[in-house]
Amino acid sequence: MLAALEAQRSARVAEAAALYQSVLNEEPDNFDALHMLGVVRYELGELPQAEALVRRAITVNPGVASAHANLRLIRAAQEWSGAEEQLCREVEQMRTMHRQVDTPAISSDVRVIAFYLPQYHPIPENDRWWGAGFTEWTNVRKGVPNFVGHEQPHEPAELGYYDLRSAEVRARQADLARQFGIHGFCYYTYWFNGKRLLERPLDEVLTSGTPDLPFCVCWANENWTRRWDGLDQDILIGQDYSTADSTAFIRQLLPVLGDPRYIRVDGRPLLLVYKLDLIPQARAMADVWRREARQHGLGELYLCAVRTTFHSDPSAFGFDAVVEFPPHGFHAYRLNAQMQITNPEFRGMVFNYRHQVIQSLAETPGDYTTFRCVMPTWDNTARRQHDCTVFIRSSPDLFEYWLHAMIEQTRRRLPMGRRLIFVNAWNEWGEGCHLEPDRRSGRGYLAAVRNALLRPTRDLPPAVPFGAGREADMLLTEYTRDPALQIRQFAPASSAPAQGSLVSVVVPAYNHAPFLREAIGSVFAQTHSAIELIVVDDGSTDGSFELLTELANGARCPVVLTIVGWPSPTATTWPSSTPMMRSRRRASKPCLPRCVAREPRSPFPAWHLSEPMGRWCLAIHWRIS
C-alpha cells in the first residue's frame, strides 16, 4: 500500500493502479486499496470504474468522510463529462450554420477589448535581470512540449517576432484588430512608486496620434518577481502604496486618459487595476484618482477591478465594476494522469478548455456591473516550463461559441454604454494566450471574434443547461477550490486519530495575502476535524487581515484572529490556545490533508514532514508543546 501511495503521489498512476489491484487480489475488501484505486481511475478519466470502486470502499467502511467526498467528486466529474458532450454537439451545430465570411465593416453594440502586453522591446531593467536583449520572445522561443500532443512552442505567423518600437508593427496590429471586430486594446501599464517600465509603445501611440484605434489602460500592480507570477519572494521591483504615490500615478496618466481615442464607459474614462486587493487603502486611492481627474477637467473616472484575486463588490472599494480574467477563478479536475508525460521534471497542471467554457456559461454575475471575459487558450509553458498550467482542446469554433454566448448575455444584462467584453489576450505569447495569428491556427481566433459579433441571436444553439459541476463547486468551495482536491483526500481509516484530540493550529502571518487563501484552506481541509485555528496578523499592510476575516466567515472550525506587532506573534497567542495540543505552521505554505492527523503525540520540540503531493513539494514545520 505504501508503494502504491508513493507511486500515485508521484504521478505514476499506472504503477499505482497495478499495486492497488495486487492488494485487492489478496484482500478484496481492503478499504484503502478500493478507495485509492477509485481515485486513480478518477484521475485517468475512467469514471464508471472509479464510482464502482469508491462505492465498494464505502460499503466496507461507511464512516470515512473522504471517501464520500471523493464519490461526490466522481459524480460531479460525470456531470462535467455529460455537459462536455452536449457542448461539443452544439459547437458542431453552430459550425455548420451559415457564416458571413467577408464584410467591409463590423458594427456592434458590444465592444470587444483585448488585453495588450507591451513587453516586446528591450529595456535596461530586463537586460539587467534576464540578460541583454531580453523580450517576451526570449521566453516564447524556449518553450518545449511536456507531453505527447503538447503544442509548444507557440510561433507567430504573419506579424513575426516583432519589435513594438516599430510604428509599422503597431499599425499592422491595429489593422488586424479593426478588420476582425476588436474595438480596442487595453494596454498594461507598469508603475512602481514613480518608476515606469515598458512605457515606450503606448507613449509613441500618444505622441504620434497613430494608430487610430481606441485604447484604455490596466495598471498591472503586481510586484515583478523571478517567478513571473508576482508571488515569489525574490522581488525584482516592488510596489509601495501611499497617498503621494496615488497622486503621482494618476497625474502622469492624465494625458493618456484625456486622449480622444481613450475608451469611455457612460462617457467616463475607463481605468482598470489588475490586483485591487493588494492595495491597502484602495478606497482612499480611488478618491485621490477621482479628485485629480475632476480637477484636471476629465470628469468622473470609471474604475474597474480585474477579477484575479479580487472577489468582492467593487463599490466597497470605491470602484464601479469588475472584469473577469480567465483562467483565474477556474476550478475543475486535472487531466495530468491522462497525458503521456515526456518531461520527467513536469510538475504543472493540465486542464480541459471545454470545462472553462462550461463553467463560464454557468456563472451568474453578481448584482454589481461585471464585464465578461473570454480567452482563446492558455499555456504558460514558455514562462514556467516545468510548472506550467496548460489548457488543451481549445479551438476557434469553441472560442467563437463562448464569445457569442457572452455577447448575447451582455446584451441582455447591460445598457448600451456599458456593453463591454474583454479578451485575454491580444498578444500574451508567453502564456500561449493570443488572438494574433500563429502557425497552427492562422487567423482562426480572430475570425472567431468577427463571426461571434456578426451572428444573429437565432444562430446560437440553445445554451447547455449547465448543472454540471454544482456538486464539485460546493466541494471545491469547502476546500478553497483546489483542483487537486482528490489528492487531498488520502485518509485511511485505520490511522485516523480520536476525534476528541483537539488541535490548535497557530498561523503567524505578515504580508502573506497571496498565499493565505490556499494556506488557510489547507487547514480547513484536514481530515482531523477537531481543530481550532488561531491566526496572528503582524500588522500586515497588504490586506491580509481583511482576507482572513473573509475566510473566517463560514469556516468549518473555530477561528480566532488577532493583530499584534513584531517580534513575537506566536508567543503572544500561544498561551491562549487550547492546551490539549498545539501546532505551528507558516502562512505561506499549504499543508497536506493528514498533517494534523499524523501529528506525533510526543514532547520532542520539532518534527519535519516533506512529502510530494501533486503540484506541491512541501516542507512543513510543526512545533509541539
**Number of other residues whose CB lies within 10 A of the CB of residue 522:** 23
DSSP reduced 3-state for 460:
coil
| Cell numbers at 151, concatenated | 503544442
Tell how far CA 167 is from the center of its chain: 34
Strand partners, 306: 323
Tell me what pLDDT residue 102 has: 53
- Name which residue leads in pLDDT, 479 or 539: 539
Q: How many CA atoms lie within 13 A of 459 on its CB side?
A: 18
| Domains located in the chain, CATH noted | 111-454 (3.20.20.80), 496-625 (3.90.550.10)
Quick: pLDDT tens for 536-586. Answer: 776 677 777 777 776 776 565 667 665 544 333 343 443 344 433 334 444
CA distances from 613 to 282, 343, 520, 619 (A): 37, 18, 17, 11
Tell me what pLDDT residue 529 has: 60
Buried b (16+ CB within 10 A) or exposed e, 286-298: bebbbebbeeeeb
Q: Does position 590 have pLDDT exceeding 60, yes or no?
A: no
Residue 77 phi/psi, 5-degree rounding, is -65, -35
pLDDT average, residue stretch 577-597: 45
- For residue 200, what are the contacts with CB-CB under 8 A and spacing of at least 6? 118, 121, 123, 164, 165
The dihedral sign for the CA sequence 212, 218, 219, 222: negative
- Name which residue leads in pLDDT, 540 or 428: 428
In 510-558, at which residue ranges do the beta strands (DSSP E only) sit? 531-537
Per DSSP, 67 falls in state: H
CA-to-CA distance for 592 and 484, rounded, in angstroms?
11
CB 282 within 8 A of CB 317: yes
pLDDT average, residue stretch 297-317: 94
| Cell numbers at 81, concatenated | 463529462
Lowest mean pLDDT among 118-132, 163-177, 340-354, 479-493: 479-493
Average pLDDT, the chain: 82
Q: Does position 174 have pLDDT exceeding 90, yes or no?
A: yes
Q: Are strands 264-265 and 235-237 parallel, antiparallel or unpaired?
A: unpaired
Tell me what pLDDT residue 513 has: 78
Tell me what pLDDT residue 282 has: 95
Tell me what pLDDT residue 68 has: 92
Q: Does position 428 have pLDDT exceeding 50, yes or no?
A: yes
Quick: pLDDT tens for 238-275. Answer: 998 999 999 999 999 999 999 999 999 999 999 999 99
pLDDT average, residue stretch 115-142: 97
Rounded to two decimals, the pTM is 0.75
Quick: pLDDT tens for 178-187. Answer: 999 999 999 9
| Cell numbers at 596, concatenated | 494534523
**Residue among 376, 420, 404, 396 nearest 462 (CA):** 404
CA-to-CA distance for 214 and 257, rounded, in angstroms?
11
Q: CA angle, corner 186, sides to 317 and 249, nearest 5?
A: 55
pLDDT average, residue stretch 498-520: 71
Torsion on CA atoms 579, 583, 588, 591, rounded to nearest 10: -130
| Cell numbers at 259, concatenated | 486622449
